[in-house]
Amino acid sequence: MRLEPATTAVVVVDMQNGFCHPDGSLYAPGSEEVIEPIVALQERAAEAGASIVYTRDVHPPEQFEDAYYYDEFDQWGEHVLEGSWEAEVVDELPVEDADHVVEKHTYDAFQKTELEGWLHAHGIKDLLFCGTLANVCVLHSAGSAGLRDFRPILVEDCIGYIEEDHHEYALEHADWLFGEVATSDEFAFDDG
């Protein structure tokens, strides 16, 4: 698979202390395990001239106080609160000045964020999804990208999970319904 760097972005989903660090409230070892492969992917993409987008799941403490139905704190407990250490991207993935950071408040990185407009403004069409969790924020964000006519490619060896079957389910579902699945060694960036 060949990708044009000028129209490609790597979307690093929620690689935050709360999910990827052993001291995080929603720590999943499968998320920590993909840090190194994501670093390699991000460096390779940046070197080729592709864009890098980081999403950060961030919740104001009062976000769900008036919720009618959707309440992530009921599902997961309080996590990645605004301004907390948990909400920060892990140290191993330093966010560069040229990278774009999207703060999101739901599983979907496109829901009530500027992500879609930013991607269109920069001529991005192909999105390489990596990060965590496979069957939650990665799946919902990649599905949302497909519905918006971007090409979502889920990078299999760069996606974290709580349980192995969650990882398998998310990739199979994405491949069947709205996107593509590839390992990081199955694509290359064209020379600019």
**pLDDT in the model for residue 147:** 97
Listed as ranges, residues in the chain with pLDDT below 70 are 192
**Long-range interactions of 145-151: CB distance < 8 A, separation 24+:** 145/11, 145/110, 145/179, 146/177, 146/178, 146/179, 147/178, 148/110, 148/116, 150/119, 150/124, 150/125, 150/126, 151/125, 151/126, 151/127, 151/179, 151/180
Phi, psi of 154 (to 5 degrees): -90, 125
**pLDDT in the model for residue 131:** 98
Nearest-angstrom CA–CA distance, 30 and 162: 6
**pLDDT in the model for residue 192:** 56
**pLDDT in the model for residue 60:** 87
> How many helices and strands, by DSSP H and E, does the chain display?
7, 8
**pLDDT in the model for residue 77:** 85
Q: Which CATH class is domain 2-123+130-189?
A: alpha beta
- Write the burial class of residue 154 (CB in 10 Å: 0-12 exposed, 13-18 middle, 19+ buried): buried
Nearest-angstrom CA–CA distance, 177 and 160: 20
DSSP 183: -
